[in-house]
Chains A and B, each alone.
Chain A
Amino acid sequence: MSDKGSIYRISGPVVTVTGIDAKMYDVVRVGDEGLMGEVIELHGEKAVIQVYEDTSGIRPGESVINTGDTLSVVLGPGLLTQIYDGIQRPLKVLEEKMGVFITRGVDADGIDMEKIWEFKPVVAVGDEVSSGQVIGTVQETETIEHRVMVPLGKGGVVKEIKGGEFNVTEIICTLEDGSELAMLQRWPVRSPRPYIQKYAPDTPLVTGQRILDFLFPLAKGGTAGIPGPFGSGKTVIQQQLAKWSDAQIVVYIGCGERGNEMTEVLTEFPKLIDPNSGKPLMNRTVMIANTSNMPVAAREASVYTGVTIAEYYRDMGYDVALMADSTSRWAEAMREISSRLEEMPGEEGYPAYLSSRLAEFYERAGRVETLSGADGSISIIGAVSPPGGDISEPVSQGTLRIVKVFWGLDAGLARQRHFPAIAWLSSYSLYPATLDQWYRDNVATDFPEVRTKISSLLQVESELQEIVQLVGSDALPIDQQLTLEVARMIREYFLQQNAFHDVDTYSNLDLQYKMAAAILSFQENAKLAIDAGAMLEDVVNVPARTDLLRGRFEEGYGERIDELVANMNKQIADAAGAEN
């Protein structure tokens, strides 16, 4: 046995090698072209390797070399604004090296090794530093300060530390024990990075999406699953979160999805302004794009590459949001590799370890005390693409057992162009109880009560709808007809939100609250008017109500809404007056 072996068998992305001395997850170079692969199974003297590039044309007998490394990402300034494939090769560099089509056998560093950064130490000679502690900073992008940390396993008294201009491989700090530190670090993607402890999340990840923030909020450090059939809006929600959520860092993983969707993000984000920082959104974003037609083994790896980068920024004390679109494609990559390994399949052909892999992945979310004592978080939002939209399948079920927020998308709503097509009766969030205090303190003292009123109206509507299906709405008593109108208003005015409309795409929490309150105010005033003899038709159709509804598409709605509500209520009262 040696660090060199030879190919025995090739079956798609899976290659079997004999005569090689290898450990699990060692990175190897396969064949004459040196394609990158990873050891995923050991069988007597054979090692089974998943190859991250296309294997056509490779023959048995070609050599395989063990690099002895495990699959790792490089970490340091220069990650932000990048777009990578599943194994952290910058797509821009790949384009320079091989043109617009991705061929194979090309290596590329995850970050630019030559680029010069201005390093500012925050510790001094003689200070005692430990693993994970911040020793200095670099302004990585306009908005994000990169905090350079002592690599794991290192620590001691600082012997020398230099401020000034360095590339990521130059030595910036020496410790008494002789360790030399540069800005560049590596981390094996399949191992979670350590932290001191996990905290319970207590702050919402504000997304500007009304149905999410108001009814089904996600906490910073929380987990959410978005199952839905094709075309129901998973990607749009993920992109909305990548754009508007108040995370400081966004890691967006396009895992086995469309090429054009990645291009869209790439062209749009540099132009979009982050409402929280006022700077282009690209400044806080890292993208991983391993599209559906790129090698499946690299798709399998992409999720780990992404979450490791997210952990690295979390360790600096940032709130990171990670979107994985779609985790089903990741699971399918596992299934494909597993079936090539002729493993005993579990449900629907997925490997038996599917649910533990899903759990391990979401477990890397959370709000933590970092090694340096800071507070950082990763929120994970995973899209799920169930076959035929039926969530009884293994990936949906495995996800729902773990995540705390379920945004279930409904094909029927999407068909009616009710977007976001989140089914309000079946979706849930387990966070409201922990977040209520935050909402009371930061938005309105009665925020939770308003939310409860809105959701119970929707509940009542669904019960009334069953009757309407049988007898028509005119047969209902007038107060129930009013309830239906109010519920319609909740759906059409509040829950629906057009992601492609410049104004409607984002509502801050204050506006969300005011819109919800406007609905309740309509309900109250309409009821009074009807009790005083007004016709439901007349109350619903007062022109000022239409102004209130349509106004949400106009700039400055937040400032005008109080006045619009007052006008509506006045006209409603007049409608009652006219009857008497």
Chain B
Amino acid sequence: MSGKEYRTITDVKGPLVFLNKTDPVAYGEIVSLRLSDGSIKNGQVLDTSDDMVVVQVFEGTAGIDRKTGIQFMGDVFKLPVSKDLIGRILTGAGKPRDGGPEIIGEFNADIIGAAINPYSRESPEVFIQTGISAIDCCTTLVRGQKLPIFSASGLPHNDIALQIARQAKLIDSDEQFIVVFCAMGITAEEYNYFRHDLERTGALENAVLFVNLADDPAVERLITPRLALTTAEFLAFEHDYHVLVIYTDMTNYCDSLRQIGAAREEVPGRRGYPGYMYTDLAMLYERAGIVKGKKGSITQFPILTMPGDDITHPIPDLSGYITEGQIVISRELHQKGIYPPINILPSLSRLMNAGIGDGKTREDHKSVSDQLYAAYAQGRELRGLVAIVGEDALNERDLQLLKFSDIFEDTYLRQDRDEDRSITQTLDMAWDILTNIDTKYLVRLDQKWIDKYHPTDKK
């Protein structure tokens, strides 16, 4: 559209360009900037009035000067969507990165995405077996859920995400997941690790990758997850696919958000992040789910690294307030050499109750998982006490709990990177390790399940 080119830049600040004397420009409109060396950058309108237009430039403002020509493209950011996206690798701005042809879309989809009408949602309740006991038993994942991995630098979150991507399945169907992978500011090494694993297992053919690496423009990261989610919505709701969206690292995304906020001189919220970060993250995370009348679904696995291992940092904190639980990776367990080092205590799946029980996993699941939690929590607490007063001061019950917490970590949490446990194995193993505690102390277990499943005390 519109060919008119303006050269009316007044200010350039951080990733923002300010210009005046334009015809009316739409809020959110896409902008093309032509630099004096002929190169092109892209941006989007953040504020527009009769006197002043503010443009955020995705590729950064290096090289922009007053002579830079600015064209408004007449429309908001759209992504051409097509089934041909499957198997492709694209940049963080949606351009081919694999040497393949440009994507010709069935149509162009607005990447901001409209909110799903809450009335039109369907409750996620189909159990996804990941083959990882800590997740399947204690923080059960269901189709259509958004369940982030809260990790920290140097921990094996990528391995866990990949293991989930490889092993995720429904128990009574062989429907496959399509993986939409979205990299934001990760290193080339990390990216290659993901790509090779997806290649090795053949999953790449059934995946779409959007890649913004550490040395790619930071502001572009604000677009990348929206492209990924727009693709996911298209595949799920136009073509009935079950889509698993993995995006990493949300922390880099949030830092880009902070950068824009600072350049606009907004009043910062906690630790300098913008006050609207909750809403902004919700606009991503809420694009998970199942809707009436559509066969597909979107399940999200955002990965974020907690700065300073601090779960109260605004990034994990605001994420936790939006997502339907979290899987927390623990440095302590990792240092003990346990993989996957998932600390089940702060981990949670809020949709678990809908996805487990008779006809879904097994009737005793809830009871068993509650009991594991309670026993492990108490056992861990006792470790602190023992460090001070020694084991002698413990009574019989406490001794058993203490021992249990070690067994739990060593045999239940610990599994191989390619060990794929069925839900029955996972639950049976839980009963096995619970025999280390006298049944009379297992108050979270319903008597009827003890009668039926307890390896030694069943009737």
> Which A positions have Cβ atoms within 8 angstroms of B?
8-12, 16, 54-62, 83, 91-92, 94-95, 98-103, 229-231, 254, 256, 258-260, 262-264, 266-267, 289, 291-294, 296, 329, 332, 335-336, 339, 345, 348-349, 385, 387-390, 411, 415-417, 468-475, 492, 500, 537, 541, 546, 549-550, 553
Contact = CB atoms under 8 A, between A and B. Distances in A.
Contacts of A264: 123, 354
A10 B47 contact: yes
Contacts of A546: 440, 443
A349 B273 CA distance: 11
Contact of B117 (A56, A91, A230): A91
Given A100-B294, A260-B324, A9 B117 contact: no
B269 A56 contact: no
Contacts of A475: 393
Contact of B112 (A54, A91, A296): A54
Contacts of B291: 100
Interface in B318-356: 318, 320-322, 324-326, 345-346, 348, 350-351, 353-354
**Interface core residue of B27, B113, B322, B396 (most chain A CB under 10 Å):** B27
A103 B350 CA distance: 28
B2 to A, nearest CB: 12
B254 to A, nearest CB: 14
Contacts of A415: 345-346, 377
Interface stretch (B162-170, B191-199, B282-290, B410-418): B282-290
Contact of A292 (B322, B378, B385): B322
Given A101-B116, A263-B123, A474-B392, 20 more contacts: A9-B48, A11-B48, A55-B28, A60-B25, A95-B117, A100-B237, A259-B121, A259-B286, A259-B289, A260-B351, A263-B121, A263-B122, A292-B279, A293-B287, A332-B276, A415-B377, A417-B373, A469-B388, A473-B395, A537-B396
Nearest to A103: B114
A537 B441 CA distance: 12
A277 to B, nearest CB: 25
B378 A258 contact: no
B350 A500 contact: no
B425 interface: no
Given A100-B294, A259-B121, A473-B393, A60 B50 contact: yes
30 contacts: A10-B49, A54-B114, A57-B75, A59-B25, A60-B48, A60-B50, A83-B118, A91-B117, A98-B117, A101-B115, A230-B321, A231-B326, A260-B123, A260-B351, A263-B119, A292-B278, A292-B282, A293-B283, A293-B286, A339-B266, A348-B269, A349-B275, A390-B312, A411-B346, A415-B346, A416-B373, A416-B377, A472-B392, A473-B394, A546-B440
Contacts of B407: none
Nearest to A236: B350
Interface residues of B, number: 85
Given A56-B26, A230-B317, A293 B47 contact: no
A234 to B, nearest CB: 10
B46 to A, nearest CB: 8
Contacts of B119: 83, 91-92, 94-95, 262-263, 266, 289
A259 B300 CA distance: 15
B276 A336 contact: yes
B459 interface: no
Nearest to A267: B123
B370 A60 contact: no
Contacts of A92: 119
Nearest to A6: B50
B114 A101 contact: yes
A9 B269 contact: no
Contacts of A537: 395-396
Interface in B111-143: 112-124
A102 B112 CA distance: 12
A546 B457 CA distance: 15
Contacts of A474: 392-395
A102 B283 CA distance: 13
Given A260-B289, A267-B123, A345-B267, A293 B282 contact: yes
A293 B284 CA distance: 8
B242 interface: no
Nearest to B310: A388
Given A101-B116, A417-B373, A470-B389, A56 B27 contact: yes
B275 to A, nearest CB: 5
B292 interface: yes
Nearest to B320: A230
B262 interface: no
Contacts of A260: 121, 123-124, 144, 289, 324, 351
Contacts of B373: 416-417
A281 B322 CA distance: 27
In the complex, the 6 A-B pairs of residues with the closest C-beta atoms, listed nearest first: A472-B393, A9-B49, A388-B312, A56-B28, A292-B282, A91-B119
B27 A58 contact: yes
Nearest to A264: B123
B118 A263 contact: yes
A62 B49 CA distance: 11
Contacts of B50: 8-9, 60-61
Contacts of A55: 27-28
B118 A91 contact: yes
A262 B275 CA distance: 25
A262 B123 CA distance: 9
Contacts of B377: 415-417
Contact of A102 (B114, B278, B289, B390): B114
B446 interface: yes
Interface string B299-326: 0000000000000111001101110111
A51 to B, nearest CB: 10
Contacts of B279: 256, 292-293, 296, 332, 336
B24 interface: yes
B8 to A, nearest CB: 15
Contacts of A62: 24
Contacts of A339: 266-267, 275
Interface string B438-451: 00100100110000
B324 A258 contact: yes
Contacts of A83: 118-119
A254 B292 contact: no
B126 to A, nearest CB: 13
B200 interface: no
Contacts of A254: 118
A141 to B, nearest CB: 18
A386 B43 CA distance: 35
A295 to B, nearest CB: 8
B65 interface: no
A102 B117 contact: yes
A68 B110 CA distance: 34
Nearest to A91: B119
A475 B398 CA distance: 14
B49 to A, nearest CB: 3
Given A11-B47, A56-B28, A339-B267, A231 B320 contact: yes
Contacts of B398: 473
B216 interface: no
B26 A59 contact: yes
B388 A470 contact: yes
B393 A416 contact: no
A101 B114 CA distance: 6
B275 A332 contact: yes
Contact of A58 (B26, B270, B321, B322): B26
A415 B346 CA distance: 5
Contact of A10 (B48, B293, B392): B48
Contacts of B269: 348-349
Contacts of B366: 500
B268 interface: yes
B29 interface: yes
A57 B443 contact: no
A541 B395 CA distance: 14
A533 B78 CA distance: 81
